[in-house]
């Protein structure tokens, strides 16, 4: 264990020695991309689509997993210094079907993996062996580690549950239950008893672990088909993406939300995730093979286009993660690669990516996923298969739009989240914040019609059902 933490300190020193970059110098990756000076690099190692990627808490390691059923551990420093980085370790317990979710323990002793085989493994990094396993009735889509106690973690499943596990018990301890698939259950990084949940039927909801029978707060029906939500570091905003709709950012202080638009952005074909890059930016992947980054405004205003768009993937991008320690973005999706984005040139990086032409509608035919075993090179057959999926989903969307009338649109247009209000009374860093839930009858006295809280309310306000 001491060796791993030593490597965290060595990473900065290697930047200086190998690349000549001062420790204090960190590029704004979003601005670099706007200036067309962002570098990218392809890391090969998987034999199929890469469905999940995560950084360890201190940024020392990267874990990835996908259709080749393997959980691969990488050293982040190797992505900078090696021409062709090799896996640092491959976990010995293999899944029986696609891996969809990964996470690290807070101390980087364990890796959690789960997916389409209805199984969640807890891997011991030191040995590579699985120390424990858990199961669900349907596939797992997401894993979230408790921010203060990594014996406790949550796993979202297609069977409509977010299961709460404790490594000290062999079975689930509690479960959030919803109708329809649930894709995400994420702990609030500050208020750990709160969790945002994204589900197909109920949309974006927030639960309090002290009362799991029903949602503590709901963003409303316009968030139906929510597939992922991410808290900012302060725990006072949620970035949410929806299938077939535009992303949303919820400001819990004002109870307002912003819809993020871009004329080219679409999210129809696959289950994706989203993340805050930092307090300024949010990012997610699109069906057009690009990564969309929006700058979050300080006040509620219309956002008509992305701040910048990262272009370089050759098929759908499903997951993007940022490491502040490394000032690095890693993304993955339908391709077999992990793509690294850096503000400085690194070994085997480039600026002008080789792009391919998507399969046209006239070229569509039936494709099957018949990938070669143990082959890390690009598989055009799989890429073309997803081109075909995208066209099919676009056709279905167009047909549905013709059948819908304006009366059928139940989305709220006033920018406010209606329902219960809750406040956080701050008592200090080591104390949990007090949470008070007010009734519908009292909501108008606590908050004016413009969504501004009174001075006495100082703190959060959020959704109502």
Looking at every residue in the chain, the average pLDDT score rounds to 80
The residue with greater pLDDT, 200 or 363, is: 200
End-to-end CA distance of the chain: 47
Which of 218, 224, 174, 165 minimizes the C-alpha distance to 196? 218
What does the DSSP 8-state code read for residue 316? -
pLDDT at 229 over 60: yes
Question: With contact defined as beta carbons under 8 Å apart, do 332 and 51 qualify?
Answer: yes
Q: Does the reported pTM lie above 0.85?
A: no
Identify the pLDDT of residue 214: 80
pLDDT digits (tens, 9 = 90+) for 257-268: 999 999 999 999
pLDDT digits (tens, 9 = 90+) for 116-137: 999 999 999 999 999 999 999 9
What does the DSSP 8-state code read for residue 53? E
pLDDT at 461 over 70: no
DSSP 148-189: S-TTEEEEEETTSEEEEEETTSSS--EEEE-SS-EEEEEE-S
Identify the pLDDT of residue 398: 55
pLDDT at 36 over 70: yes
pLDDT at 197 over 70: yes
Quick one: CATH architecture of 2-396? 7 Propeller (2.130)
Interacting residues of 35 by C-beta distance below 8 A, sequence separation 6+? none
Question: With contact defined as beta carbons under 8 Å apart, do 67 and 106 qualify?
Answer: no
pLDDT digits (tens, 9 = 90+) for 79-104: 999 999 999 999 999 999 999 999 99
Q: CA-based angle 160:150:133, to the nearest 5?
A: 55
pLDDT at 463 over 60: no
In 286-350, DSSP assigns E strands to 291-295, 308-310, 317-323, 328-333, 338-342
pLDDT at 434 over 60: no
Identify the pLDDT of residue 363: 57
The residue extents of the domains of the chain are 2-396, 422-457
Span 313-330, average pLDDT: 96
d(CA 83, CA 139): 36
């Amino acid at each position: 264990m001491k060796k791993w933490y030593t490597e965290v300190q060595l990473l900065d020193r290697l930047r200086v020695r190998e690349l000549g970059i001062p420790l204090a110098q960190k590029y704004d990756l979003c601005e670099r991309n706007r200036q067309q000076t962002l570098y990218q690099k392809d890391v090969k190692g998987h034999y199929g689509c890469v469905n999940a990627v995560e950084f360890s808490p201190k940024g020392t390691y990267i874990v990835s997993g996908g259709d080749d059923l393997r959980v691969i551990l990488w050293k982040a420093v190797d992505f900078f210094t090696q021409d062709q980085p090799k896996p640092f370790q491959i976990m010995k317990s293999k899944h029986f079907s696609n891996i969809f979710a990964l996470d690290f323990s807070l101390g980087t002793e364990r890796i959690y993996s789960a997916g389409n085989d209805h199984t969640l493994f807890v891997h011991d990094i030191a040995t590579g062996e699985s120390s424990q396993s858990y199961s669900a009735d349907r596939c797992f889509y997401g894993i979230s580690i408790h921010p203060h106690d990594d014996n406790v973690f949550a796993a979202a499943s297609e069977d409509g549950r977010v299961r709460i596990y404790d490594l000290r018990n062999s079975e689930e301890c509690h479960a959030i239950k919803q109708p329809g698939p649930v894709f995400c259950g994420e702990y609030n990084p500050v208020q750990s008893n709160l969790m945002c949940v994204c589900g197909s039927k109920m949309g974006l909801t927030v639960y309090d672990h002290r009362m799991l029978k029903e949602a503590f707060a709901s963003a409303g029906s316009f968030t139906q088909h929510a597939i992922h939500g991410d808290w900012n570091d302060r725990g006072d905003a949620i970035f949410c993406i929806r299938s077939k709709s535009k992303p949303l950012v919820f400001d819990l202080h004002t109870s307002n939300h912003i819809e993020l638009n871009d004329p080219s952005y679409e999210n129809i074909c696959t289950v994706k995730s989203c993340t805050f890059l930092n307090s300024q930016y949010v990012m997610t992947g699109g069906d057009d093979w690009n990564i969309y980054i929006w700058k979050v405004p300080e006040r509620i205003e219309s956002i008509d286009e992305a701040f910048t768009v990262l272009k370089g993937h050759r098929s759908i991008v499903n997951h993007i993660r940022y490491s502040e320690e490394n000032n690095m973005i890693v993304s993955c999706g339908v391709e077999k690669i992990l793509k690294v984005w850096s503000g400085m040139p690194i070994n085997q990086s480039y600026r002008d990516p080789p792009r391919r032409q998507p399969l046209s509608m006239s070229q569509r035919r039936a494709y099957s996923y018949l990938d070669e075993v143990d082959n890390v090179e690009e598989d055009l057959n799989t890429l073309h298969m997803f081109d075909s999926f995208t066209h099919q989903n676009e056709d279905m969307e167009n047909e549905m739009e013709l059948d819908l009338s304006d009366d059928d649109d139940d989305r709220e247009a006033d920018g406010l989240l209606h329902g219960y209000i809750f406040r956080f009374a701050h008592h200090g860093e080591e104390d949990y914040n007090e949470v008070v839930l007010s009734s519908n009858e009292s909501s108008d006295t606590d908050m004016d019609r413009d969504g501004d809280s009174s001075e006495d309310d100082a703190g959060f306000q959020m959704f109502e059902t």
